[in-house]
Structure 1
Amino acid sequence: MTVARSVRLARLRRSCLTALLIASFHQTGVKGAERSNSTKRSSPASLQPSRITSGMTKGVPLSLADSIFIALRNNRSIKSAYVERIAQKFELRVAEDRFTPKVAVSGTAIRQNVGGIEVTSANVAPNASILLPTGATLGFAWNNSIVSGSGVQTQTSTADINMVQPLLRGGGVDVTLAPLRGARLEDKLNRLNLKKTVSETIAQVILAYRALLQAQEELKLSEAALSRSKDLVEVNRAMIQAGRMASVEIVQSEADVENQNIRVLQATKGLDDARLALLVLLSLDLATPAAATESTEPSRIAPDLPSMMQIALSERPDYLGQLLIIEQNKLGMTVAENEKLWDLSLFASGSFGRRNISGPAAIPGVQKIADTTIGVTFNAPLNDLRREQPAVQATATLQTSELQLASIRQGVELQIRSSINSINIQWKQLEAARRGVGLATRAVDIEREKLKVGRSSNVQVRLLESDLRNAEEQRLAAVVGYLNALTTIDLQLGTTLKTWRINLAD
């Protein structure tokens, strides 16, 4: 009767504790849901778990969407990438300014004394030049000068025009536009690198968040195991008081309580380490008591290799970037082949204006100026192998980049295949772990009932409780492993930003 009464009291205490925890769960869950609705960004259900809130988790509730939003705003790697984009975009702007007319004003003012004769001169020349897509250079200058000395003053005003059109080397639309096209390809490559940086950072945040979630759950499991050990001690004491157990047998149960205390302390340290790792990625105050609030009950997805390969080859930054590198190398090949040609250029120039001479020692008059020049220049090296070198190097670079593209494509397929296998295996492990937890829980309950009627021993109960703890840890590891496998394949597909509906501001 004494043993039964003690057991009923222990059950009553556990029921009261459970009621308090449920009430705390309800209050915290409502507040967390309100906060999540105002900040969370939606994502595909196949890759993002549904959200729940745990009343047993102490700290500031932090959802996965909250973490990603904070990382986009605070993470230093992302900030550095955007700072670099400022310089990169200005480089593109400089390249696009290549065909913009360049306007300048130049001038001189000189006063000199040579052999007792003073001469003063001044010149102002607004000028402009422009590069045409054909490679031609056009220049215009309005020269205005005045020279005064020995009683003679000469004023000259002319419009000078010049043009140089390469006909072989350095000429042609493809060669002239190559630097601009290359700069635009480089800017696209830089944007892909920005996407890669942000995607990898988000993946790191997700994995760190899950590590925090796993640490929280491990602490709960440790505390649950400690509670079971204490309950067993209470049962043992009741049985000793009833004379149904030797007093020395409780020593093993009490030692098990201390061992479980050590596990709780270890789990607490692991939780602190996981929280700090996440806070570093979020660039938040390390004293922030963040608590993960996501679900640990994922749903299954069915990955398909052909469709995933198609997505990866259209979204992955490294594969798309290599395609851009090949295009850049083709431009380099075009320029290098042009460098092998002779120098042959057509040039023309003209000067139109007038010269006005005046002064006490001069014969006044006005002279018209209309000078023109047209011609051809050429340079034909006959045995200079240096002109062949850029073309040979460009050919080798292009072929190497094409081989690298094939290697990247095979690497993408290898990663996707491996991730699909990992997802399938992780799900099977999760299902087995769930069944294992159910069976282990049932075995512990049965053995505890047998202990109460004297048909079992403390050793057997502790062994089964240890098996239950291992099964719970395996289930937790399987859940987190499955979720992380989904995050990994999302990153490998290059769809992390699309999954979380993030549009990069550039």
Structure 2
Amino acid sequence: MKFSTSTIVAAALCAVTTNASAQSGRAADAARQDAVVRQALSTYNIGLAALDPDPTPWAGQPGVDTGGIRELTLDSAVALALEKNLDIAVSRLEPQSVDYTVAGIRNIFRPTLSSTFGQRDTVQLPTNQLNGGVRVSNGTSTYNFGVAQPVNFYGGSYTVNFFNSRLDTSNTFANFNPSYTVTLNAAYSQPLIRGFKIDNNRQQLQVALLSRDVSEESSRATVFQTLANVRNAYWDLVFAQSAVDVARRATELADKLVEDNQARVEVGTLAPLDIVQAQAEAATRRQNLAAAEATAQTAELTLKRFLVSGTDDPLWRQAIRPVDLPSLAPAPTDIEGAIRTALAARTDVTTARKNLDANDVNLRFFKNQSMPALDLNANYGLQGLGGTAFLRAPGNLGGAVIGTIPGGYSDALDVLSRRNYPTWNLSVTLSYPLLGNQAEAQYARTQVQRMQAVTRLRALEVQIAAEVANAALTVQSNLKRVEAATAARELALKRLDAEQSRFEVGLTTNFFVVQAQRDLRDAANTELRALADYRKSLVNFERAQQSPAGGGGGGLNAATGGS
């Protein structure tokens, strides 16, 4: 096999272009990944700097750039999530995707134009005396146009065709040469029983519209769950940073105890061995402070993940300082109203009802398909003929041409417009399978699926009622935890003051002072945790009325009957 030079050059250029495109794509991916790595490393260095009071960046690493401090309220965090969160952005695209599916089905009901242009030449064999000659040549030119459309009501459809032809012939019996023939034909088909109320196309459209509603509910559920995650992450960050403050104050108390003990040893009122215990406690609290700072950095990254649109977002490089502090907001009291709200508008309930609606659509479709097919067909057509007409001598068939009457395509259209040569047809077609059909089995199967859907909806309603009630109980329980933790922290503070006073006059030892400091630290952390849990339980109570845990509204799982 031989190849021309141009073919080889074209193949080489194609290969080079393909290779260059692939390399360009890989280079873009590599650059994007490098940017992600650099941003993550910068964030790591920021966290490392917070853990080390005298940070020293690794050799070869870029300098630590905190990007400043961003004070953030809870409402601002929610607004940022609505604007930039990637999960929400993805969920908002899903309804648009379903819109294209709906548009594709709607296009079935749009008119379809058709056209045909052709040329045909035939030479007839002299099979009989009426052949019109020994060698008859016929040349036919066709140019046809048509439109067809299924109707989006009552299942009907129509077609309109406009046929045109021009015939050049050597037939001695021809009356016109060339002759022009035009035909206008309109037909309408209307189902009277099967396919009248619903058919395959309308069934698919109705189910697709329900799928569109379900995708909207799924998007809403993602938004509700993401905002709940943002609020919970915000309160976790508040707790983590407050825990850092508690650990720092505990460390300062331990360091002050070490200094006081050193002063007492110098004046001879305390044994040197008691300093070791205070120093060991101070070291332990510095470890606790480092762990609390690491937890705060992790909580900050968790919140940032919900608020940024990528690692190039300025917020990713900034330190977040929460402005709102957890407070004892009033606990919910109208539990019955909350349950009714959830049963009426929660996304998974709405999705379950949409599934039930889809099952109803399928029931109507399969029941209709199991009926007899009775179709009314109507057809009406008009014809026209024109061209150069031959005048022949009277008397004999195929007499000599004694003259012509000039004519053309417009003559055929004129004959057509006068409607002198109409054709029409009206028919009714009936068909019915004698021993049953597939639609009857599908109708029975869809009835079972509908009963399953109704049962699932009832089970879901019970589950939602229990979830909302449990969320309300958790709110009440956490409120009591906060009250108890606040009282315990106040008592721990009084105990520490008492132990410190007793220690200063020599009535107690380091052990009891250290123990009182630990108890105060633990009580403060417990109070902070209880406050954060209370705020998060309020968030969960609100979320339980809007969407299921985990987000998403489910999909349309009803069986469809369309092909």
| Shared fold, TM over 0.5 | yes
Aligned equivalent of 2:370: 340
Distance 1:301 1:134, change over 3 A: same
My pick for the range that moved more, 421-430 or 185-194, is 185-194
102, 109, 122: which one pairs with 2:111?
102
Query: Counterpart of 1:119 in 2: which secondary structure?
Result: strand
Change (3 A) 1:381 1:363: farther
Correspondence 1:241 to 2:266: yes
Instruction: Name the SS of the counterpart of 1:378 in structure 2.
Output: strand
Secondary structure of the residue aligned to 1:155 is: strand
CA contact (8 A) 1:436 1:471 kept: yes
Provide the residue aligned with 1:267 in structure 2: 292
Match of 2:141 among 96, 121, 136: 121
**How many residues were matched structurally?**
438
Q: Does 1:321 align with 2:351?
A: yes
2:166 aligned to which of 125, 133, 146: 146
- Aligned to 2:317, what secondary structure does the other structure show? coil
Q: Which residue of 2 aligns with 1:13?
A: none
Alignment partner, residue 383 of structure 2? 353
CA distance in 2 between counterparts of 1:114 and 1:213 reads 95
Moved more, 304-313 or 220-229: 304-313
Higher Rg: 2
| Structure 1 Cα separation of the partners of residues 94 and 179 of structure 2 | 55
Query: What residue in structure 1 maps to residue 186 of structure 2?
Result: 161
SS at match of 1:154: strand
Contact 2:157/2:190 (CA < 8 Å) preserved in 1?
Answer: yes
Partner Cα distance (1:432, 1:207) in 2: 22
Partner of 2:52: none
| Preserved CA contact (<8 Å) 1:138 1:163 | yes
* TM-score normalised by L of structure 2: 0.73
Whether 1:77 and 2:77 are equivalent positions in the alignment is no
Distance 2:103 2:438 in 1: 33
Deviation at 1:103, TM superposition (A): 4.5
Is 1:432 paired with 2:452?
Answer: no
Change (3 A) 1:205 1:150: farther
Whichever residue aligns with residue 186 of structure 2, its letter is I
**C-alpha separation between the residues in 1 aligned to 2:447 and 2:466?**
29
* Matched residue, 1:60: 70
Partner of 1:3: none
The yes-or-no answer on 1:304 pairing with 2:324 is no
Matches within 5 A, 1:349-498: 349-358=379-388, 368-494=420-546
Partner SS for 1:388: helix
Contact 1:126–1:142 (Cα < 8 Å) also in 2: yes
| 1:79–1:359 Cα change, 3 Å | farther
Question: Which amino acid in structure 1 is aligned with residue 117 of structure 2?
Answer: T
Give the partner amino acid of 1:263.
Answer: N
- Find the counterpart in structure 2 of residue 198 from structure 1: 223
Percent identical residues:
21
Cα 1:282–1:174 change in 2 (3 A) is same
| Mean Cα deviation higher: 330-339 or 276-285 | 276-285
Q: Secondary structure at the match of 1:455?
A: coil
CA distance in 1, matches of 2:303, 2:225: 14
The one-letter amino acid paired with 1:270 is: T
Per-residue deviation at 1:282?
A: 2.0
CA contact under 8 A between 1:175 and 1:334: conserved in structure 2? no
| 2:212 equivalent to 1:187 | yes
1: CA distance, partners of 2:367 / 2:484: 64
How far does the alpha carbon of each residue in 1:37-88 deviate from its partner, in whole angstroms, 9 at most, with x for none? Answer: xxxxxxxxxxxxxxxxxxxxx8321222222222212211111122222221
Structure 2 stretches of 5 or more lacking a match? 1-67, 125-134, 172-176, 391-400, 549-563
2:370–2:437 Cα contact (<8 Å) kept: no
| Residues 154, 390 of structure 1: alpha-carbon distance in 2 compared, 3 angstrom cutoff | farther
Q: Does the CA-based 8 Å contact 2:190-2:377 persist in structure 1?
A: yes
CA distance in 2, matches of 1:129, 1:352: 21
Shift of 1:170: 1.2
Q: Deviations over 1:194-225 (max 9, x none)?
A: 11111111111222222222211111111111
CA deviation vs aligned residue, 1:5-32 (integer Å, no higher than 9, x gap):
xxxxxxxxxxxxxxxxxxxxxxxxxxxx
What amino acid is aligned across from residue 154 of structure 2 in structure 1?
T
d(CA) in 2 for partners of 1:124 and 1:380? Answer: 36
Alignment partner of 2:247 out of 210, 219, 222: 222
CA–CA distance in 2 between the matches of 1:446 and 1:147? 120
RMSD (CA atoms): 2.5
Distance 1:148 1:277 in 2: 83
- After superposition, give the CA deviation of every residue in 1:137-164 in whole Å (9 maximum; x if it has no partner): 1222333333445483332333211111
Query: 1:145–1:313: structure 2 CA closer, same or farther, 3 Å change rule?
Result: farther
Unaligned runs of 5+ in 1: 1-57, 497-506
Distance 2:503 2:168 in 1: 123
In the alignment, is the contact (CA less than 8 A) between 2:367 and 2:439 conserved in 1? no
Deviations 1:236-287 (A, max 9, x none): 1221122110111111101111111111111111111111122222235343
